[in-house]
Amino acid sequence: MSDWTLELDLRPGDGPLFRQLHAGLRRAIADGRLAPGARLPGSRTLAKRLGVHRNTVLRAVADLTADGWLETVQSSGTFVAADLPRRPPPSETTGPTYPLPPGPPPDDRRPPDDPAILSFTSLPDVERIPQAAWARAWRRVLGRHGRVALDYADPRGDRGLRAALAHMLATTRGLAIGADDVLITRGSQMGLYLIGAALLGPGDVVAVERLGYAPAWRALAAGGARIAPIPVDEGGVDVEALARRCRRENIRAVYVTPHHQYPTTVSLTAQRRLRLLDLAVEHGFALIEDDYDHEFRFDGPPLFPIASVDRRPVIYIGTLSKVLAPGLRCGFVVAPPPVLERLVARRLDIDRQGDGVGERALAELFAEGEVQRHVQRMRRLYHRRRDRLAGLLRAHLGDTLDFAVPAGGMAIWARVNPAVDLERWSAAALARGVWLMSPAAMVADDDPPAGLRLGYARLAGDTLTRAVRALAAARRDGRRGG
């Protein structure tokens, strides 16, 4: 009871106050609001706070002590008993009294929380963020602009950061845009959810890559839309299969990852990009382009987004989750003004606006060139890790995995020898401290591929070697088991 004051509803006239106090304290203990071992204030303090006579407190405390709810330790005070007479079963306090609709499926995309487990996730290495410069920028913004930055503000996000993002997109991705063409969201996930809420409804169909990024599908379908899986091959999403589907039914939106297809890492061919744009115009669907890892292209020239060819049919989505850190929750959407207006209206309903201080601090990091330098450093680092992982996989798992080295990104997609029981291998790997994402989490129907997305961005030198060796050892365990 040292931080907040526990409020008790005592009403003169509703019976003796010592009984009301007794019942109130007992309920607070039984509900867990007063934890076992918590110290009660002294009787004088409590009496003063509650506006009752000290004898009232003493009597209630004496009765609760006799009942086993409180215990008094000589010269130390009165405490909630460590061993309570009756703990309510959890269902009594945690379950609602009304029926719940069916819940979402379990999230099998997340690695276990255990830091000792090496995970082939494609999340970035956050150890290397420009921490000191970032902390300075935060402090500066709070000190100089705190009053404004902490107020209600533009739901599209801080104008300085929008301008910095627009400048980045114009110079590095061929998008001729300005600050007002950008909506900053809490991660691209929010952008996708806003699109689902603002543009799609029950009965609408969203075409997605059959192998793809399930969180995006869930966000787009949250408003009631139906997901239609389109096959993916070495050239990215099969655009002719999409064309056939468009002739059969009315597709309202298409969600794709053309830069490095998730999870297969292939880049959508130039011809398919143009065909996709034509189809979007012909059939009147919104083309949602998720350009989540644009910065990480190692081989060949940069690959501009589809939106750089024609922005009108495209809703372009990007994120700083891969470049800086996922916990930053900073993504952005670029779309024609009437579309952005709809998204902004939805944003106002659920979140009002982003993090004013954080966005201004980020804008300062862009202005200082910190983000740009960080991107360059990470691009070199991930390039090395990609090559290292490719070499290790060839050396240790050459007979089990078949893969093409991706031109960039944060993961290698490997097809698994059909003779291998992938589920069993993953379980054996986990027993050896290595986590693999299940391909079942990346498929829009019931036919998971025999493939693995092996993220390398977070695995530094020796760790990468250890992780691949453990995978190879787990593979041998599987073989011995039959």
Give the footprint of ligand PLP on this chain (CB under 6 A): 187-189, 213, 257, 262, 290, 292, 319, 321, 326, 331
DSSP class of residue 385 equals H
Smallest distance from ligand PLP to CB 155, Å: 18
Contact 409, 455 (CB under 8 A): no
Smallest distance from ligand PLP to CB 326, Å: 5
Smallest distance from ligand PLP to CB 322, Å: 6
Q: Which is nearer to ligand PLP, 205 or 328 (CB)?
A: 328
Q: Which is nearer to ligand PLP, 64 or 437 (CB)?
A: 437
Query: Which amino acid belongs to residue 383?
Result: H
Smallest distance from ligand PLP to CB 26, Å: 46
Q: Which is nearer to ligand PLP, 120 or 262 (CB)?
A: 262
Q: Which residues of 265-303 are buried (b: 16+ CB within 10 A; e: fewer)?
A: bbbbeeebbebbbebbeebebbbbbbbbbbbbbbeeeeb
Q: Which is nearer to ligand PLP, 215 or 433 (CB)?
A: 215
Smallest distance from ligand PLP to CB 113, Å: 17
Query: Which amino acid belongs to residue 262?
Result: Y
Distance separating alpha carbons of residues 225 and 136, to the nearest angstrom: 44
Distance separating alpha carbons of residues 275 and 273, to the nearest angstrom: 5
Smallest distance from ligand PLP to CB 262, Å: 4
Q: Which is nearer to ligand PLP, 409 or 478 (CB)?
A: 409
Query: Which amino acid belongs to residue 205?
Result: V
3-state secondary structure of 411: strand
Smallest distance from ligand PLP to CB 213, Å: 4
Q: Which is nearer to ligand PLP, 291 or 370 (CB)?
A: 291
Smallest distance from ligand PLP to CB 321, Å: 3
Say how many C-beta atoms besides its own lie within 10 A of residue 478's C-beta. Answer: 20
The two tokens of residue 384 are: 């090395």
3-state secondary structure of 130: coil
Distance separating alpha carbons of residues 224 and 242, to the nearest angstrom: 21
Contact 54, 43 (CB under 8 A): yes
Distances (CA, A) of 8 to 19, 52, 114, 162: 12, 12, 41, 49
Q: Which is nearer to ligand PLP, 106 or 327 (CB)?
A: 327
The two tokens of residue 208 are: 């997605």
Q: Which is nearer to ligand PLP, 319 or 400 (CB)?
A: 319
